[in-house]
Structure 1
Amino acid sequence: MSSRPLHVEPEPVDDVLGWLDGRVSADFDPATGCGWQVSFARTTDGGAVLSLVAAHAIADGAALLDAVVRADGGTPAPVPARGGALSTAVDDVADGLQQLKAAVSWAINRPRGKRTPSPAKAAPEAPEGWRIPHVVVECDSAEIAKSAAERGGSVNSLFVAALARIAATAGCADGLVPAALPVSGRETVDVRANSTRIAIAGLDRSVLDEQDLAEVKAECKRAYQRLAANSSASQPLALVQMLPDAVVRRLPPPPAATVLASSLGRVPGELCGAPVRSVSATAHYPGAEPAEVATIGDGVTGWLSDSGSRTTISVCGLAPGRINGVDELRELVTSELASWGLAVRPW
């Protein structure tokens, strides 16, 4: 898999988040061998920012973070040894048949249901020129851990609950808030590609209103157990992404989710000998129009990473007509985290 040439911004940037969003490209095509790009810019405050963007079909968040860590340490990825041309061809055919078998099993066993949950009320029409709003905020890692522990949960359960409450406040769900929880199925001997599966948790509004993290944590655990017990119902996202559009359109719709909460865990605190102040990870939908975004789930998606003293939360509003701009989404995010006793610093 090849990359685009390294992009170096000629002038220092002031709006770091805007610059990062601008580096996302809709032109990646893994089928032609172009799947990722690294970009670099100086900032007006004397710092620097590094961007790594990849097509989701070839890498999930864990794979990207692993690539950064390995690149910094000069450690190659552990790729299984391949035999000669004949052996490789046989392996590829066998792998293709296994993937096809998995796809058929997934299509047969996948639960039927509506593509999106029934919202509290119909979404208003999105304003002209609507684009997916994206915000990033930071908070103190010790503070968020303390807030979670005081409510009987973990940082991850607080993250899931906060996103669900944001979606509910925006009018994206009523009664029960379905939350998608990405789970890595990657083997340690091979860190390539995208091996993400999705567990679905159902979060009751009364539990969310009470900020009962013990119950949120318990429901997330039950979601992971359901996924483990029925793995054929949730094949890796990359498998679905590689199927032809004509096939995907005939498959049962995916389980409905108003929230996607992806916790990436600890990220490097140093890169190439320089301290890393902040790290943010986000899955983008470049060029997506409101009508297309509305089919994704009518809610919010978020990613959490911990760089030691700082915890970074990145949120996208996939709710045309409900969340209509960066300012609106930023207010939702900062107000929600404040309700947990957290002081945040927006990017």
Structure 2
Amino acid sequence: MTRTISTPPVIDGVGVNRLTADDDLFLKLHSLYGNALVNQLAWRFDEALDPELLTRFHAHLAEGFLARRVQPVRVPFARPYWLPATESLPLVWDSAPVADDEMLDWYFAQSRVDFDPTTGQVWRLSAAPTTTGGTLVSLVTSHVASDGGAVLFAVGDALARLDERPDFAAGSGQLVGTEPRNPLSANLIDAGRQLRAVAKGIRAAIATRGVVEPERNLRPELPLLPLPNRWSPADPVVQLDLTEWNAAATRHSGTTNGLLIALGAGILGRSGRVGDTAGIRVDIPHSMRTSGDPRANATTGLPISVTYRAGERIDLAAVRSAVKRAATAYRDPATTPALQHLQPLQMVLPRFVLRHFARTAKAPECLCTNLGETASGVADFAGHHASAVLMRPVVCTNDTDMFRRVEVGVNLSFSTDGHTVTLAVTGADPDRFPSRAALRELLSTEFESWGLTPSFW
């Protein structure tokens, strides 16, 4: 749950695709916590899909960019690398039709899956019919092997090749990487590179030790609601008109992205998680993926501080200025916080050290992801157009006290097809968002303050 900055892809002359610091961090967190967090790309179709179509889609995914496994190395300080997967989880087709009021529960249930990065079992495709004659489809992926950009790339490539024979070498799978001709020599060279990167990172961290990031707020200990020992975060999904969204942003001197950030901060404030005039730390993921990029994770993050004032809307002009300042600062290594320079060191730390830090690590209090107009590129399945496309991180069911200990807050994920906004909201503070209904009520009040008309799933 720690924010990291991806390093550029390091692929040597024989096609070895080494794990980046992001990949390494998610792999270590997976070893500690399992599938506490997964990504989900989901579709709603108003018509029935032929299971054979989904079988072909699954076959292409199994030969594509997601089909990768971690190859460990024995040379100290050398990084593991990606190889084509040796296994994939089978397509799951639920025969029981899903009613409209059961849809969110069905989507959430797909997060209950055990992934294995060492074999390549890092994604699962599932589908179910609806009681109204439609089809629900879900693709759940491990963050170890893919971020949102990687999933969209893999899915887009698979959909474009549905009429072709699945071929790892012809599609996006060719970017995954290959075994070096001389593994020992390649790993020794990489170990030397890593040691140099550690030394360089330590020097840069010392030089930037005075650079600070916005601070997060301490989670209030009270109230402490009587909840079960295991709890599932509140996860409503809402659709809004994009024209109305943009008009509201313009009316208040802001941007599409700024309104998303304001909604997240406003919900957190309305919940009582922070007090009046509090500066809320908002983390904003930003894709660094380029054409032909082989990285599993290629996302950086910008932290900003947003002031919450009870009874008032968030100042969108101030949000815009804060985002610009953060983007400028993070383009210059001299103004990048020291911790971010230490990523090469993070990769060589032994697991017991990571476990010590993990016990005190905190999750973002407000995370706002703007995926832009991504839905339109993955909405068509061989002539069948999805009536809605949802992309979101799923915070899985876990110990209630764990959510309190890591002080996780609220998470918003925005995507659009150019006409409709689909907003996925996850409230993972059990005492502020104890149920989907409670979070929905807060959302409705916040939307009303901006003149927005929501339609909840």
Bin the TM-score by the shorter chain: 0.7 to 0.9
Q: Does 1:118 align with 2:218?
A: yes
Q: Deviations over 1:270-315 (max 9, x none)?
A: 3222112211122123232122222443420111111221101111
Question: CA–CA distance in 1 between the matches of 2:337 and 2:189?
Answer: 21
Question: CA–CA distance in 2 between the matches of 1:261 and 1:339?
Answer: 19
Q: CA deviation at 1:80?
A: 4.7
Alignment correspondent of 2:293: 190
Q: Deviations over 1:72-105 (max 9, x none)?
A: 1128227559677325665555556656766783
TM-score normalised according to structure 1 size? 0.86
Q: CA deviation at 1:227?
A: 2.5
Alignment correspondent of 1:214: 317
Alignment correspondent of 1:271: 380
Question: CA–CA distance in 2 between the matches of 1:144 and 1:128?
Answer: 36
Question: CA–CA distance in 1 between the matches of 2:347 and 2:235?
Answer: 23
SS of structure 2 residue aligned to 1:144: helix
Residue in structure 2 matching 1:258, options 345, 365, 370: 365
Residue in structure 2 matching 1:22, options 109, 116, 131: 109
User: Does the aligned pair in 1 maintain the 2:215–2:281 contact within 8 Å?
Assistant: no
Q: CA deviation at 1:122?
A: 2.9
Q: Deviations over 1:44-94 (max 9, x none)?
A: 222212101011111111211222211111282275596773256655555
SS of structure 1 residue aligned to 2:322: helix
Question: CA–CA distance in 2 between the matches of 1:205 and 1:28?
Answer: 39
TM-score normalised according to structure 2 size? 0.67
Question: CA–CA distance in 2 between the matches of 1:95 and 1:337?
Answer: 51
Letter in 2 for 1:8: W
SS of structure 2 residue aligned to 1:152: coil
Question: CA–CA distance in 2 between the matches of 1:299 and 1:329?
Answer: 12
Residue in structure 2 matching 1:76, options 164, 171, 174: 171
User: Structure 1 stretch 97-106 or stretch 180-189: which is displaced more?
Assistant: 97-106
SS of structure 2 residue aligned to 1:279: strand
User: Does the aligned pair in 2 maintain the 1:78–1:191 contact within 8 Å?
Assistant: no
Alignment correspondent of 1:331: 441
SS of structure 2 residue aligned to 1:57: coil
Question: CA–CA distance in 2 between the matches of 1:28 and 1:280?
Answer: 21
Residues 92-131 of structure 1 aligned to structure 2 (within 5 Å): 94=189, 105=201, 109=205, 117-119=217-219, 121-129=220-228, 130-131=231-232
Alignment correspondent of 2:26: none
Q: Deviations over 1:126-174 (max 9, x none)?
A: 4322321111100011110111111111111100110111001111223
Q: Deviations over 1:204-258 (max 9, x none)?
A: 1249934321211111222222322217643799x97997652324459768742
Alignment correspondent of 2:244: 143
| Corresponding pairs, count | 346
Letter in 2 for 1:201: I
SS of structure 1 residue aligned to 2:407: coil
Question: CA–CA distance in 2 between the matches of 1:203 and 1:102?
Answer: 34
Q: Does 1:9 align with 2:94?
A: yes
Question: CA–CA distance in 2 between the matches of 1:5 and 1:275?
Answer: 24
Q: Percent identity over the alignment?
A: 28
SS of structure 1 residue aligned to 2:390: coil
SS of structure 2 residue aligned to 1:311: strand
Q: CA deviation at 1:327?
A: 0.5
Letter in 1 for 2:91: L
Q: CA deviation at 1:177?
A: 0.7
SS of structure 2 residue aligned to 1:209: coil
Residues 283-294 of structure 1 aligned to structure 2 (within 5 Å): 283-294=393-404
User: 1:114/1:179 Cα in 2 relative to 1: closer, same or farther (>3 Å)?
Assistant: closer
Letter in 1 for 2:223: P
Q: Does 1:134 align with 2:240?
A: no
Q: Does 1:205 align with 2:312?
A: no
Q: Does 1:343 align with 2:453?
A: yes
Q: Does 1:166 align with 2:275?
A: no
Question: CA–CA distance in 2 between the matches of 1:107 and 1:265?
Answer: 37
Q: Does 1:246 align with 2:346?
A: no
User: 1:153/1:83 Cα in 2 relative to 1: closer, same or farther (>3 Å)?
Assistant: same
Letter in 1 for 2:270: T
Letter in 1 for 2:154: A
CA RMSD of aligned residues (A): 3.5
Letter in 2 for 1:189: G
Question: CA–CA distance in 1 between the matches of 2:176 and 2:184?
Answer: 14
Letter in 2 for 1:260: L
Question: CA–CA distance in 2 between the matches of 1:61 and 1:34?
Answer: 17
Q: Does 1:85 align with 2:180?
A: yes
Alignment correspondent of 1:36: 123
Letter in 1 for 2:274: A
Question: CA–CA distance in 2 between the matches of 1:334 and 1:255?
Answer: 28
